[in-house]
C-alpha cells in the first residue's frame, strides 16, 4: 500500500447516512430489478419461439459478460474510484431493463442480458466494503452486502411475477424506473471510498496485470490459490442446483411452479439470516478458515442427502444445510481474499474472484442437466457432492498445513 494513502475512514454523509447503508441499499434495489426479470426469461415469447437452447444462451451470455467485465471494472475502480464505476454499473443495469421491456425479438432480449452482465456491481461493491471496514469488520460488512443480494432476489421475483400479468414490458419498465431512482440515490448519497482518490493523489497508472496474470499470481500462493479453487468448485457445483433440484421436487413431491418459488425463497431466507445476522459472530468465534471448511462440508452433505430419501423432512434438512453452506462461503471466501490483497488492488482482485464465479456458472447448469438426463438424477447429485468433497478436503489439508507452519515458525 502507498504510504501516502490515508487510513480507512467510514464517514457518514452530511445527512447522517452511513456509507454501508447506502451501498447495501443500492445493492438491494439492484437485485430487486434483477430478480424481477430472471424468472420471466423462460416464458418470454422471444425465448419460447427461439427454442430450448435459447434459455441457456441467455443465462450463459450473462455469466460470460460477468466473467469479462468484473475484473476490468474492478481494476478500473482501483484507478478512478469506486463511485463512478458503481454508477456506471447501475446505469448499465437500467439500460438492460429497458431493452428487456422493448424486446420483440430474441436478439434484443439477448442484448438485454449482455448489457446486464456488463453491469458488474458486485465486485466493486465488495471493494467498497473493503475500503471502509477494518479487517475485524470485513466479514460482517461483506455479509450485509450478500444479505442484500439475497433479500432483493426474494422480493424481485414476487414483484416481477405480479407485474407480468400486464405483459412482459411492464416489469421491464418498472425495474428500469426503480433502478433509475437507485442511480440518483447513489449519486447523491454515496461518498467515494477509495482513499487514494479522496487524498488527491495521482491516478494509479494502468496495471499491466490483466485477468489471467492476476489469477496466475493468486494461484501461485498456496492460501489464496486454494481459496480461488474452492470458490470455483463450490460455485460450479451449486450452479447445477437450479436445474436438478426442481426435477427432484417434481419427481418426489409433484412440485409445481408455486412450490418451486417457495424453495428458492427459502434458500434466500436462510442466506439472509446467516449473512445478515450470524456471519460476523461466527467469524469472530471460529475464524474464516474454519468457516470455509465448514461451509464446504455443509454443502456436500446437503447435496448428497437430497436424493436419498423421498421425505419432505429430509428434503428441507438438505436444503437448509446447502443454503447455510453456500451462504457461509459466499461471505467468508471473499473476505479472506480481500484481507490478503493490497489496498490499491482490491477492486481488481475481487473482480477476478467475481469472474471465477461467473465462469464456473457457465458450464455448471448444462453439465448438471446433461448428467441428469443421461445417468439419472441421483448421479447428478452425487457428482456435485463429489466435487464439494474435493473442496472440503482441499481446504482442510491446506489450512491445517498453514496453521502447522505458523506454529512452527513461532516456536522456532
Vertex 265, ends 55 and 157: CA angle to 5°?
Answer: 50
Range among 5-19, 260-274, 320-334, 344-358 with highest mean pLDDT value: 320-334
**How far is the C-alpha of 162 from the C-alpha of 166, rounded, in Å?**
8
Dist CA 18 CA 25 (whole Å)? 11
CATH match for 209-412 among 1.20.1250.20, 3.40.50.1820, 2.70.98.40, 3.40.50.1000: 1.20.1250.20
**In the predicted structure, residue 4 carries a pLDDT above the cut 60:** no
Cβ atoms of 160 and 35 closer than 8 Å: yes
Instruction: Report the pLDDT averaged over residues 178-198.
Output: 85
Could you say which architecture CATH assigns to the domain 16-200?
A: Up-down Bundle (1.20)
The C-alpha torsion from 381 through 384 and 389 to 390, rounded to 10°, is 150
Q: Give which of 61, 49, 190 is closest to 116, Cα–Cα.
A: 61
Own/partner contacts of 216-219, CB < 8 Å, gap of 24 or more, are 218/337, 218/349, 218/352
What pLDDT, in 10s, does the model give residues 228-271?
A: 899 999 999 998 887 777 778 777 887 755 566 677 678 778 87
Q: Are 264 and 317 in contact (CB under 8 A)?
A: no
Q: Is 306 helix (H, G, I), strand (E, B) or coil?
A: coil
pLDDT above 80: residue 184: yes
Instruction: Domain ranges for the chain, please list them.
Output: 16-200, 209-412
Question: What does the chain come to in residues?
Answer: 412
User: With 50 as the cut, is the pLDDT of residue 222 above it?
Assistant: yes
Q: The pTM is what?
A: 0.67
Is the pLDDT reported for residue 92 higher than 70?
A: yes
Mean local confidence (pLDDT), 371-399: 90
The DSSP annotation for 57-108 comes to: HHHHHHHHHHHHHHHHHHHHHHHH-HHHHHHHHHHHHHHHHHHHHH--SHHH
Q: H or E segment at 207?
A: none
Distance separating alpha carbons of residues 184 and 186, to the nearest angstrom:
5
- Average pLDDT of the chain to the nearest whole number: 81
User: Is the pLDDT reported for residue 277 higher than 90?
Assistant: no
In this predicted structure, what is the pLDDT of residue 211? 57
- Cell for 136? 475485524
C-alpha cell at position 161: 411475477
- Range name among 39-48, 197-206, 337-346 with the lowest pLDDT average: 197-206
Question: What whole-number distance in Å separates Cα of residue 35 and Cα of residue 161?
Answer: 10
**pLDDT at position 410:** 44
Mean pLDDT, residues 18-24: 87
Out of 165-169, 196-200, 308-312, least confident range: 196-200
C-alpha closest to that of 149 among 32, 22, 1, 308 = 32
Amino acid at each position: 500500500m502507498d504510504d501516502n494513502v490515508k487510513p480507512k475512514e467510514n464517514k457518514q454523509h452530511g445527512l447522517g447516512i452511513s456509507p454501508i447503508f447506502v451501498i447495501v441499499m443500492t445493492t438491494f434495489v439492484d437485485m430487486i430489478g434483477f430478480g424481477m426479470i430472471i424468472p420471466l426469461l423462460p416464458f418470454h415469447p422471444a425465448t419460447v419461439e427461439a427454442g430450448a437452447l435459447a434459455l441457456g444462451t441467455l443465462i450463459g451470455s450473462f455469466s460470460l459478460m460477468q466473467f469479462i467485465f468484473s475484473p476490468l471494472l474492478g481494476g478500473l475502480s482501483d484507478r478512478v474510484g469506486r463511485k463512478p464505476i458503481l454508477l456506471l454499473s447501475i446505469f448499465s443495469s437500467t439500460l438492460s431493463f429497458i431493452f428487456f421491456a422493448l424486446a420483440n425479438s430474441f436478439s434484443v432480449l439477448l442484448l438485454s442480458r449482455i448489457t446486464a452482465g456488463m453491469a458488474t456491481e458486485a465486485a466493486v461493491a465488495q471493494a467498497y466494503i473493503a475500503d471502509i471496514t477494518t479487517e475485524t469488520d470485513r466479514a460482517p460488512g461483506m455479509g450485509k452486502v450478500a444479505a442484500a443480494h439475497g433479500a432483493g432476489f426474494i422480493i424481485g421475483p414476487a414483484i416481477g411475477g405480479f407485474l407480468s400479468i400486464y405483459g412482459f414490458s411492464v416489469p421491464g419498465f418498472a425495474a428500469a424506473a426503480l433502478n433509475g431512482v437507485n442511480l440518483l440515490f447513489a449519486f447523491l448519497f454515496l461518498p467515494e471510498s477509495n482513499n487514494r482518490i479522496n487524498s488527491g493523489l495521482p491516478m494509479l497508472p494502468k496495471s499491466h496485470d490483466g485477468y489471467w496474470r492476476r489469477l496466475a499470481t493468486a494461484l501461485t500462493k498456496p492460501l489464496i490459490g486454494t481459496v480461488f479453487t474452492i470458490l470455483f468448485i463450490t460455485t460450479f457445483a451449486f450452479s447445477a442446483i437450479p436445474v436438478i433440484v426442481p426435477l427432484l421436487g417434481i419427481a418426489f413431491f409433484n412440485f409445481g411452479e408455486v412450490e418451486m418459488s417457495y424453495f428458492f425463497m427459502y434458500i434466500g431466507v436462510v442466506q439472509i439470516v446467516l449473512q445478515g445476522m450470524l456471519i460476523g459472530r461466527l467469524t469472530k468465534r471460529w475464524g474464516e478458515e474454519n468457516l470455509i471448511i465448514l461451509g464446504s462440508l455443509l454443502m456436500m452433505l446437503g447435496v448428497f442427502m437430497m436424493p436419498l430419501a423421498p421425505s419432505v423432512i429430509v428434503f428441507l434438512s438438505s436444503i437448509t444445510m446447502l443454503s447455510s453452506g453456500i451462504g457461509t462461503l459466499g461471505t467468508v471466501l471473499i473476505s479472506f481474499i480481500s484481507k490478503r490483497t493490497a489496498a490499491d488492488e482490491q477492486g481488481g482482485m475481487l473482480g477476478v474472484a467475481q469472474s471465477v464465479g461467473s465462469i464456473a456458472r457457465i458450464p455448471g447448469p448444462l453439465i448438471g442437466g446433461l448428467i441428469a438426463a443421461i445417468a439419472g438424477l441421483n448421479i447428478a447429485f452425487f457428482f456435485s457432492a463429489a466435487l464439494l468433497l474435493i473442496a472440503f478436503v482441499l481446504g482442510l489439508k491446506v489450512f491445517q498445513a498453514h496453521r502447522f507452519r505458523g506454529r512452527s515458525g513461532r516456536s522456532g
